């Protein structure tokens, strides 16, 4: 517990820059992104689930699919603030988690970040309702547990910075993908369309909000990570 709650030394600047470059190399190429996007989906659906619980809704289950889509089901009032915040939480969760992680890393709380991520993944695992989802969360959680339990300080630092950079950078791309998908296939089933239906506002307003949150989180998180 002393190690978890204590501060760890900051990595060298070249490690911070190298992990940012590695995260960018994962986010930009389509072939790599199609696999890595599963981690963003975990954060996306986890955001829906957490806010559903915080707003008093009953969480029924979470499904993660091999095409990197997901579904979080909760029971409660079909309209109202609870449903709005639950729908809003998906696309905003990955960049905001990245921003929170950057804040912890700026304070030297590297081990605490890894253990918090592991705890969140284990809590999410209880609500997964399909085999692929269970395997995805188990593998991700096992990786965090292995690094936080067995790896040395330098490896922990590099891993933590890479994860946070990935959430910050990977949190930007889904909003652009959603915007492009809505132009090609406007089914009305996206989070932006659901928010528009719940609030009587244009879907473009919510798309704009997703962009603002992700880009502002990336800007603020990068400043923290780079010590600016």
Could you tell me the residue ranges of all domains in the chain? 2-225
Q: Residue 150 pLDDT > 90, yes or no?
A: no
Q: Residue 94 pLDDT > 90, yes or no?
A: yes
Confidence class of residue 13 from pLDDT cuts 50, 70 and 90? very high
Mean pLDDT confidence for 198-212: 95
Round to whole Å and give the CA distance between 73 and 62. 6
Q: What is the pLDDT of residue 82?
A: 92
Q: Residue 1 pLDDT > 80, yes or no?
A: no
Decide: helix, strand or coil at residue 74.
strand
Q: What is the pLDDT of residue 194?
A: 93
Alpha helices in 107-171 (DSSP H): 110-125, 131-150, 153-170
pTM, entire model: 0.94
Round to whole Å and give the CA distance between 131 and 118. 19
161 Cβ neighbours under 8 A, 6+ residues apart: 11, 15, 16, 19, 20, 105, 225
Q: Residue 99 pLDDT > 80, yes or no?
A: yes
């Amino acid at each position: 517990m002393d190690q978890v709650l204590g501060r760890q030394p900051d990595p060298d600047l070249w490690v911070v820059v190298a992990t940012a470059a590695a995260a960018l190399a994962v986010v930009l190429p389509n072939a790599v992104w199609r696999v890595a996007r599963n981690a963003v989906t975990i954060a996306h659906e986890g955001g829906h689930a957490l806010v559903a619980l915080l707003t008093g809704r009953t969480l029924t289950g979470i499904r993660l699919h091999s095409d990197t889509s997901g579904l979080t089901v909760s029971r409660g009032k079909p309209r109202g603030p609870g449903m709005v915040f639950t729908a809003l939480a998906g696309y905003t969760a990955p960049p905001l988690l990245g921003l929170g992680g950057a804040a912890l890393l700026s304070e030297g709380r590297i081990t605490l970040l890894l253990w918090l991520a592991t705890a969140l993944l284990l809590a999410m695992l209880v609500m997964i309702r399909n085999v692929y989802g269970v395997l995805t969360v188990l593998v991700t959680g096992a990786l965090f547990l292995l690094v936080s339990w067995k790896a040395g300080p330098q490896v922990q630092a590099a891993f933590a910075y890479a994860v946070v950079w990935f959430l910050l950078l990977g949190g930007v791309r889904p909003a652009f993908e959603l915007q492009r998908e809505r132009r090609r296939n406007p089914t009305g089933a996206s989070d932006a369309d659901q928010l528009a239906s719940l609030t009587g506002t244009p879907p473009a307003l919510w798309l704009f909000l997703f962009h603002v949150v992700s880009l502002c989180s990336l800007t603020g998180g990068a400043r923290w990570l780079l010590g600016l």
